[in-house]
Amino acid sequence: MFTTSGLPCRPAEKKSWPPPGKPSRERINKIETSFKAILLDSEMRVLLGTNPRGEWELLGGRAEAQDASPQETVRREVHEEAGLDIVVGSIVDTWYYDIAGEGRVAVTSYLAQPRGDVSFVLGDEHTDLAFFHSHELDNINLPEGYRTSIRIGINKLQHSQGRPSTHDRGH
């Protein structure tokens, strides 16, 4: 499905887990936006972190007043969460993630590549960081929306490089 702007758009993903407390009505009725990096290394592995709900997720987060653009938000967040400097590329997609007890979040992902060394440092946001090949994504606790975004991003990058996409290779 595509929006009028031509960007891929998917239906909201439902996720239930025990909420830590009753959220305020204003939190439920407000849609936050989180800008995420599909950070791919030279082996086409994606960097993921574990969140407090025990899920693997893309690195990134919400914009702050000093961020000049969504891409700047992604750069800042990845540096805070993993100590990496990155180059942020094109937008991949946007989807809604409904988190029980917290509300709806619009997740917008961008292709990204590390600038220089890919040695990362675990920040305060995640309990673990790791690189994964696309074929490993089905075996980890990763929300389907992220899994789909990552596969779209890998296919988009491979297509731009003139390489067969993972979809073309039957994965």
Q: What is the pLDDT of residues 107-151, one digit of tens each?
A: 999 999 999 888 889 988 899 999 999 999 999 999 999 999 999
- CATH topology assigned to domain 9-160: Nucleoside Triphosphate Pyrophosphohydrolase (3.90.79)
From CA 108, how far away is CA 73, in angstroms rounded? 11
How far apart are the two ends of the chain, measured CA to CA in Å? 21
| 8 A C-beta contact, residue 86 and residue 116 | no
User: Which pLDDT does position 152 carry in this prediction?
Assistant: 97
pTM of the model: 0.79
For the stretch 149-161, pLDDT in tens is 999 999 999 888 8
From CA 46, how far away is CA 37, in angstroms rounded? 9
| 8 A C-beta contact, residue 105 and residue 34 | yes
From CA 81, how far away is CA 129, in angstroms rounded? 9
Boundaries of every domain in the chain: 9-160
| DSSP 8-state class, residue 120 | -
Q: CB burial class (10 A; 0-12, 13-18, 19+) of residue 77? A: buried
